[in-house]
Structure 1
Amino acid sequence: MFKNPDKAPKTYTPAEALPKIAAYCAYQERTQKEVADKLRSYGLDEDEAGEIIIRLSREKLLDEERYAQAYARGKHRTNGWGRRRIRLEMKAKGLSDYCIKSGLKELDGDEYYQKMQQLLGQRDAREKENHPQKRRMKLTAYLVQKGYESDLIQEALKELEQ
């Protein structure tokens, strides 16, 4: 679908924007930054957007700590991301350090390590490199790119080689 460049985006009053943005927040967890951007796209100024964000937070429709927890769980389980990558991505989304720490607490240590071992096993099965050192370097690079910690990677590689 192409948008008509001549047509101006529809603007809303705060009263009209509130039910729309409430539905937007109810659909899935959002950050305050995402909601503020959406409200600005509705033509609201900073003060009006701020008031709506405060109201949504009071009504528990907008909760960045809950967002961080869901984000960390989801990215780890579905994308196989490690703590380092999740932390960087949440930082880029403008979440506070408190929310980031809260989100990372959601990752169970055993499940986290098992997921990393699963990814390592899958990558090892696909890896074509036969030279042991080069193969180890490629597997390490893959897990580092996924955001896993070096000490855990080395431990998992030792287990794999045994």
Structure 2
Amino acid sequence: MSSWGKYKPNESGKNSWSQEEAFEKLTTFCAYQERCPWEVRRKLYEKGIKDEPAEKIISELIAEEFVNEERYARSFARGKFRLKKWGRNRIRMELKMREISEDLIRKGMTEIDPEEYYDTLLSQTEKKWETTSEPETYKKKFKVTQYLMSKGFEMDLVKEAIEGLISDQSQ
């Protein structure tokens, strides 16, 4: 037996897994937190497993409910909104990048309560407004808008939140 034991290095020099080993390790990987097929495929590719063998493992993980795209989309939307304070546009873009279908993205978005969403936008707007050092209101509005847009909040809501904040401050 080689000094590598069960592992054999792949092209990138990282250790690769056998099919059985991959399935076993990926059950733990998927049980730890929700995963989508795209993330699992990336992990398999890192370990030198691609194409048909990778798809076979992914199919098994789906069959045994370790991977469920709807559950993933819902969990992702809920988590990124609550923990990272991302807006709908950013969440949608990230889910698309992970090859989640439009139908499942819509289901995931239902996890975001509209009132909680707007309250989060308002608190993010206030926080950024307070920490942005810019004497000119016009430039300050631009900077805060850019920040909130990069977090994925919708332009119309961002404008509404900033205008509301400015009118509250001028009273």
Q: TM-score, normalised by structure 2?
A: 0.82
% identical equivalent positions: 38
Structure 2 counterpart of 1:13: 18
Do the aligned partners of residues 52 and 131 (structure 1) sit closer, same or farther apart at CA in structure 2, a change above 3 Å counting?
Answer: same
Q: Distance in 2 between matches of 1:125 and 1:149?
A: 21
Letter in 2 for 1:113: Y
- Structure 1 stretches of 5 or more lacking a match? 1-6
Structure 2 counterpart of 1:87: 92
Moved over 6 A (4+): none
Q: Distance in 1 between matches of 2:158 and 2:49?
A: 48
Structure 1 counterpart of 2:38: 33
Q: Distance in 1 between matches of 2:107 and 2:54?
A: 26
Q: Distance in 1 between matches of 2:76 and 2:151?
A: 15
Q: Out of 158, 162, 165, which is 1:160 matched to? A: 165
User: Residue 56 of structure 1: SS of its match in structure 2?
Assistant: helix
Structure 1 counterpart of 2:104: 99
Instruction: Please report how far the alpha carbon of residue 44 of structure 1 lies from its aligned counterpart in structure 2 after TM superposition.
Output: 3.3
CA RMSD for the aligned pairs? 1.8
User: Residue 107 of structure 1: SS of its match in structure 2?
Assistant: coil
- The structure showing larger relative contact order (alpha-carbon pairs under 8 Å, at least 6 residues apart) is 1
Letter in 2 for 1:40: Y
Instruction: Please report how far the alpha carbon of residue 45 of structure 1 lies from its aligned counterpart in structure 2 after TM superposition.
Output: 4.3
Do the aligned partners of residues 49 and 136 (structure 1) sit closer, same or farther apart at CA in structure 2, a change above 3 Å counting?
Answer: same
Q: Out of 123, 147, 151, which is 1:146 matched to? A: 151
Q: TM-score, normalised by structure 1?
A: 0.86
Do the aligned partners of residues 136 and 60 (structure 1) sit closer, same or farther apart at CA in structure 2, a change above 3 Å counting?
Answer: same
Q: Distance in 2 between matches of 1:135 and 1:55?
A: 52
Q: Distance in 1 between matches of 2:153 and 2:102?
A: 19
Q: Distance in 2 between matches of 1:87 and 1:46?
A: 27
Instruction: Please report how far the alpha carbon of residue 134 of structure 1 lies from its aligned counterpart in structure 2 after TM superposition.
Output: 1.9
Instruction: Please report how far the alpha carbon of residue 56 of structure 1 lies from its aligned counterpart in structure 2 after TM superposition.
Output: 1.0
Letter in 2 for 1:83: R
Instruction: Please report how far the alpha carbon of residue 158 of structure 1 lies from its aligned counterpart in structure 2 after TM superposition.
Output: 2.4
Do the aligned partners of residues 16 and 138 (structure 1) sit closer, same or farther apart at CA in structure 2, a change above 3 Å counting?
Answer: closer
Do the aligned partners of residues 52 and 155 (structure 1) sit closer, same or farther apart at CA in structure 2, a change above 3 Å counting?
Answer: same
Q: Is 1:131 aligned to residue 136 of structure 2?
A: yes
- Structure 2 stretches of 5 or more lacking a match? 1-7
Matched positions, count:
156
Do the aligned partners of residues 31 and 126 (structure 1) sit closer, same or farther apart at CA in structure 2, a change above 3 Å counting?
Answer: same
Structure 1 counterpart of 2:122: 117
